[in-house]
Amino acid sequence: MPDQSDKKNTPSLELLATLYTLNQLESAAHDLPQIAFAGRSNVGKSSLINALARRKTLAKVSSEPGKTRSVNLFKVHPDGFCLTDLPGYGYARRGQEERKAWAALIQRYLEHTPSLRALALLIDCRIPTQESDRIMAEFARARSLPVIGVLTKADKCRLQERAAQAKTWERLLGDKPVVVSSVTRMGLDELWVRLREAGRTAETPLNAEISTGAPEHA
């Protein structure tokens, strides 16, 4: 049972918008900085958002892949940036038309959200690297979008397996992934630190000049 001080230090999340269509995406025009949670269907994106918020039903979760069908923006308090829960990619059993519509929604979101500051790329620690994950990592690299690698479902994975996956992803992303479990809460504090750092960079360009320590002119 987490103690009260832990709860006080954990930011809270508020559902800000649920967007189903390209039109809604365009008209929403949210200019708050955003960190998108991307990953294959069933990797645990929505569960991780719930675990980060210490809430059970904030984001919709299902054991059946393809649960999240919309782009969902959760505002982080008190920081002011958003975590964006995306539909998962790579779910073969959906109809082709539906998969195309989702892919278009995800792509449009990623390509046309100027306030997107980073991508949290979620990878199931039990599943070998998939082409779709590599494509997503390459997409971010090509746009100089920072990627926070997140290995999910650590509770289901042996230590050795996790370490091997972490190495592979460190090579691909150039940075160590955070290993998490939404069940045991492993790695969540570390992930919050990484997310808050990435969310904060949104504010640095303006302030950076001011906080360099350069002497002021009278």
Residue 210 CB, nearest approach to ligand GTP (Å): 40
Region of 23-31, 60-68, 194-202, 207-215 interacting with ligand GTP (CB under 6 A): 60-68
Q: Are 151 and 169 in contact (CB under 8 A)?
A: yes
Spell out the residues 6+ positions from residue 182 whose beta carbon is closer than 8 angstroms to its own.
44, 47, 48, 50, 51, 152, 153, 188
Q: Is 55 in the site for ligand GTP (CB under 6 A)?
A: no
- The site for Mg ion (CB under 5 A) is made up of 45-46, 67-68
Closest CA to 139 of 156, 116, 159: 116
Closest-by-Cβ residue to ligand GTP is 88
Residue 100 CB, nearest approach to Mg ion (Å): 19
Check residue 200 and give left, alpha or beta (phi > 0: left; psi -120 to 50: alpha).
Answer: alpha
Give the position of tokens 């505002």: 75
Residue from 182, 187, 188, 191 touching ligand GTP (CB under 6 A): that is 182
Which residues are near ligand GTP by CB under 6 A? 39, 41-47, 61-63, 65-68, 87-88, 152-153, 155-156, 181-183
